[in-house]
Amino acid sequence: LAKTTQPISMDSYEGQEVNITCSHNNIATNDYITWYQQFPSQGPRFIIQGYKTKVTNEVASLFIPADRKSSTLSLPRVSLSDTAVYYCLVARMDTGRRALTFGSGTRLQVQP
């Protein structure tokens, strides 16, 4: 089981770039890395997914080094509305429960 480790919380200010790193030392060859965002009183929302190197979409970038033992979610120029909990998940989606287990996440607080 590819256990993930994330910081419990992070603080930032509006306009700054925020990088949240997730450690997953036991990642398997076929595992993907997926990040979700959860706002208060809402369900988690898919942000981005990657396997290696770099992935970018309209919301964030995901950086994955060659050894894949960690990954970094990058949020450019955060705003107050980016205050949320961010979860890192590691698994192949066809591995059942293992792929669907959320850790404790990182609580990001963005200040004005």
Partner 1 sequence: DAGVIQSPRHEVTEMGQEVTLRCKPISGHDYLFWYRQTMMRGLELLIYFNNNVPIDDSGMPEDRFSAKMPNASFSTLKIQPSEPRDSAVYFCASRRQNNEKLFFGSGTQLSVL
Residue number with CB closer to partner 1 (80 or 93):
93
Among 29, 43, 66, 112, binds partner 1 (CB under 8 A): 43
Among 6, 18, 22, 34, binds partner 1 (CB under 8 A): 34
* 86 touches partner 1 by CB under 8 A: no
| Alpha carbon distance 71, 64 (integer Å) | 5
Q: If you count them, how many residues does the chain have?
A: 112
* 55 touches partner 1 by CB under 8 A: no
* 111 touches partner 1 by CB under 8 A: no
| Alpha-carbon distance values, 60 to 4, 30, 43, 74, 96 (Å) | 20, 23, 19, 6, 26
